[in-house]
């Protein structure tokens, strides 16, 4: 009869029905998740909750269907090649029973689960880092509450160990645009060079510092979108308790360091030419403590640390528990992938040992035997590793529009509007590390197995599995 191996076996009707059922459920769950998101009223939607597993299973079934194709394509060129080991390894993979695709399916689903959980954790960490940065404006913010800081405050803070840069800012909260709008507008008078360096470093509204500098006329200004709409593009006179000046909109930014939301106007302090000192310092560097910064700034200033703000997002027990669930999912997925590899290798170990003994009687050297055992694993572990990364990427990309990580990442805390919605994105390390680990572990086990097998005598190897 016809061989029931990976390359030649035809899927049964029952298998086709099962695969189509999984595909329909995966499409339905993905559509529901993208349309309604994770915040479904009235309880937990089981179909939506199962979307990651269903999508990964459907994609894994598709890859298992395609698995024989590369084996067929590589068979002919390897048969013509001079080396023997590659052809033997591929032939063995192609002649394996069709049931050997089941470990491949388990590997793909396990790797996808690990990648999904890892990407969630990576997205949560990135969102918390970004939210803390937006809230503070730099690694630390020193604010005198509207009063001027001591003249030597910036110099003393800059001299502290671990401080890389200090941006001096004059902050006024009652800038009047003289248009009757009534909305409170914040004025930032900054050292444009230092402030531009900070904006580039944190990736928040970068700009060319020279554009803010002027010797006369209207002061070029970076403004928030609503201020730009109120001022227009023509020069406009504005008022503060300390005096009047004329500004002209240079550029529009959704946010800038220390200005993560609200309405604001940013100008160059030297161009403004007011005899007023800074009220705020934005500090880059993670070395100084809160007490050291406060002492350097005169002892009365309020100090906010980015690290403290970041740690506050992990204080809620509920969100800590949810995060641990994703950690467990990623670890469990990676663990199941390793177990699937080990069980698959152990299952075929006696058969491979006996085959190797027969080949050695035909002139196969010990070195070639070891190489054959290692190469035999590649037709399964390499597709599993590459396929697992691809399936994980596809599942995350497909489901991401319906998954909002804001609640998990930020624990219900008030965050700047500039942060926006926290979306799920594929994390490169979460995709590649589990897949690479599977390939490396499989190769390592195969090397150990080949070393142990080739140390036996040929007679012992031929009797492997013999119960007499």
Instruction: Give the pLDDT confidence of 291-304 residue by residue, as tens digits.
Output: 999 999 887 789 99
Task: Compute the average pLDDT of residues 337-344.
Answer: 76
pLDDT at 97: 59
Tokens at 33, concatenated: 């998740």
Using 50, 70 and 90 to split pLDDT, how confident is the model at 220?
very high
pLDDT at 391: 86
Taking only the tens place, the pLDDT of each residue in 14-43 is 888 988 999 999 899 888 888 877 654 555
pLDDT exceeds 70 at position 91:
no
**φ and ψ of 442, to 5 deg:** -60, -45
Strands 302-305 and 185-190: unpaired
pLDDT at 468: 45
Q: Percent of the chain, pLDDT > 90?
A: 19
pLDDT at 268: 92
**φ and ψ of 146, to 5 deg:** 95, -15
Q: In terms of Cα–Cα distance, which of 414, 385, 301 is closest to 114?
A: 385
Q: Distance between terminal CA atoms of the chain?
A: 31
Tokens at 402, concatenated: 């319906």
Helix axes 428-454, 366-399, angle to 10 degrees: 160
Task: Point out the least confidently predicted range of 87-101, 174-188, 292-306, 365-379.
Answer: 87-101
pLDDT at 462: 53
Task: Point out the least confidently predicted range of 42-51, 315-324, 412-421, 454-463.
Answer: 454-463
Residue 196 or residue 385, greater confidence = 196
pLDDT at 321: 66
Using 50, 70 and 90 to split pLDDT, how confident is the model at 227?
very high
Distance between CA atoms of residues 55 and 48, nearest Å: 11
Residue 186 · residue 262 · CB < 8 Å: yes
pLDDT exceeds 90 at position 439:
no
| Averaged confidence pLDDT in the chain | 81
Residues forming a β-bridge with 248: 220
Classify 273 in phi/psi space as left (phi over 0), alpha (psi -120 to 50) or beta.
left
pLDDT at 454: 65
Tokens at 249, concatenated: 């909109």
**Where exactly are the structural domains of the chain?**
54-135+314-462, 145-300
Distance of CA 371 to the CA centre of its chain: 37
Angle at 75 between CA 72 and CA 81, to 5 degrees: 160
Task: Point out the least confidently predicted range of 30-44, 88-102, 111-125, 323-337.
Answer: 88-102
pLDDT at 214: 83
pLDDT exceeds 90 at position 188:
yes
For the ranges 43-57, 65-79, 90-104, 109-123, the maximum mean pLDDT occurs at 109-123
Task: Compute the average pLDDT of residues 231-238.
Answer: 89
Task: Compute the average pLDDT of residues 114-142.
Answer: 89
Using 50, 70 and 90 to split pLDDT, how confident is the model at 455?
low
pLDDT at 267: 93
pLDDT exceeds 90 at position 411:
no
pLDDT at 265: 93
Using 50, 70 and 90 to split pLDDT, how confident is the model at 341?
confident
User: How far from 126 is each of 120, 389, 410, 417, 423, CA to CA, in Å?
Assistant: 10, 21, 11, 16, 10
pLDDT exceeds 90 at position 310:
no
pLDDT at 1: 47
């Amino acid at each position: 009869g016809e061989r029931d191996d990976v390359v030649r076996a035809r899927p049964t009707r029952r298998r086709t029905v099962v695969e189509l059922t999984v595909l329909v459920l995966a499409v339905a769950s993905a559509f529901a998740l993208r349309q309604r998101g994770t915040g479904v009223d009235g309880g937990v939607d089981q179909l939506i909750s199962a979307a990651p597993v269903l999508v990964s299973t459907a994609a894994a079934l598709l890859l298992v269907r395609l698995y024989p194709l590369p084996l067929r394509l590589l068979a002919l060129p390897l048969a013509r090649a001079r080396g023997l080991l590659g052809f033997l390894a591929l032939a063995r993979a192609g002649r394996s029973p069709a049931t050997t695709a089941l470990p491949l399916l388990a590997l793909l689903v396990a790797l996808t689960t690990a990648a999904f959980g890892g990407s969630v954790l990576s997205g949560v960490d990135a969102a918390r880092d970004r939210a803390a940065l937006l809230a503070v404006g730099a690694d630390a913010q020193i604010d005198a509450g509207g009063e001027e800081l001591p003249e030597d405050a910036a110099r003393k803070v800059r001299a502290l160990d671990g401080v890389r840069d200090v941006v001096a800012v004059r902050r006024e909260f009652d800038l009047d645009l003289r248009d009757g709008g009534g909305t409170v507008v914040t004025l930032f008078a900054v050292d444009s060079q230092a402030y531009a360096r900070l904006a580039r470093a944190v990736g928040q509204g970068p700009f060319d510092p020279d554009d803010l500098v002027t010797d006369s006329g209207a002061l070029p200004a970076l403004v928030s979108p609503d201020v730009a709409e109120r001022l227009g593009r023509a020069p406009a006179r504005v008022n503060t308790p300390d005096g009047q000046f004329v500004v002209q909109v240079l550029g529009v930014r959704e946010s800038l360091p220390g200005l993560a939301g609200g309405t604001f106007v940013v100008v160059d302090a030297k161009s403004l030419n007011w005899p007023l000192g800074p009220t705020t310092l934005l500090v880059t560097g993670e070395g100084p403590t809160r007490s050291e910064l406060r002492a350097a700034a005169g002892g009365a200033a309020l100090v906010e640390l980015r690290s403290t703000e970041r740690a506050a997002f992990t204080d809620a027990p509920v969100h800590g528990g949810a995060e641990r669930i994703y950690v467990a999912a990623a670890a469990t997925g990676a663990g199941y992938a390793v177990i699937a590899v080990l069980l698959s290798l152990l299952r075929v170990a006696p058969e491979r040992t006996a085959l190797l003994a027969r080949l050695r009687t035909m002139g196969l050297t010990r070195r070639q035997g070891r190489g054959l055992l290692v190469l035999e694993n590649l037709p399964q572990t390499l597709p599993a590793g590459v396929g697992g990364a691809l399936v994980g990427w596809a599942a995350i990309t497909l489901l991401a529009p319906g998954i909002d990580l804001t609640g998990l990442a930020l624990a219900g805390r008030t965050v700047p509007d500039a942060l926006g919605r926290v979306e799920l994105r594929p994390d490169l390390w979460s995709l590649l590390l589990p897949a690479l680990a599977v390939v490396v572990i499989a190769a390592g086990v195969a090397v150990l197995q080949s070393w142990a097998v080739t140390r036996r005598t040929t007679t012992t190897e031929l009797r492997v599995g013999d119960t007499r």
